[in-house]
Chains A and B, each alone.
Chain A
């Protein structure tokens, strides 16, 4: 990878070695954004099944009841919660609010994310 700025240096975005908490926030936001975009595409494909008639749609619904898909749904919820809460921190910072407390805000918001994700996991997997 070249030392000077190059568009194809982007894999370095995901390398947290020797970096601080801020980079973890940056990486989390990128990964969750990519995950949510992928989900949106899959969602559109699923909706496309509606146009193929009732049987195709029912078959698709049976497939997504599989526990693996449930785990996928939980990942989507996790990505949404993390991206949303982290995004609020970044938006507030962009208005000059809480910039010098961004580290503690990040830790607090990620703690909230864990609680929310655990709540959804419990709801989804305990109710069968």
Chain B
């Protein structure tokens, strides 16, 4: 069980990021979170930064603050993410820009800045967020799935570049989990997606946290560069 660790979690105002923060706070850890909106968690061991994960200066400042205040970061969960369903022909350039900025640039910036802090202690755990939309090649999710495909490759290469510093980098790929992220996706689309999983049901927060708990366990220091999809989806 993880306890007394310092977590940095992105995208903590709502959804999976908020639940993750509450879960790890409950277990006696320190959580530093962020989102574009104001924080929504009230806990003595929680600190919130209001920022956009693709804003380099803001991210650098946040992580330097955290280093000063807590002296170390044990775990980074790159959870912040946005999606948009659209046919390629009707996808505005701006949408692509936004999705890549939050999903990929955000993951890159946090990984770079936090890894600098972890390197000193020769220890760290980074978990990124992928999606089953990538291996399933879902129509209508070309941009979202591609941004997450970039994260998968990034995860695999970071695992190698950071291995010498005792830092593991893995990713969890959820199936649909009922949050705001998918609330505008038509029901028949979701059902068609669930049909393509080996186990045909929605994912839950507990399913996601189960994979993360495994990745961040002290005993998992030989597990890196892995993408684990839920629901029996395979690459």
On whether the two chains bind one another, the answer is: no
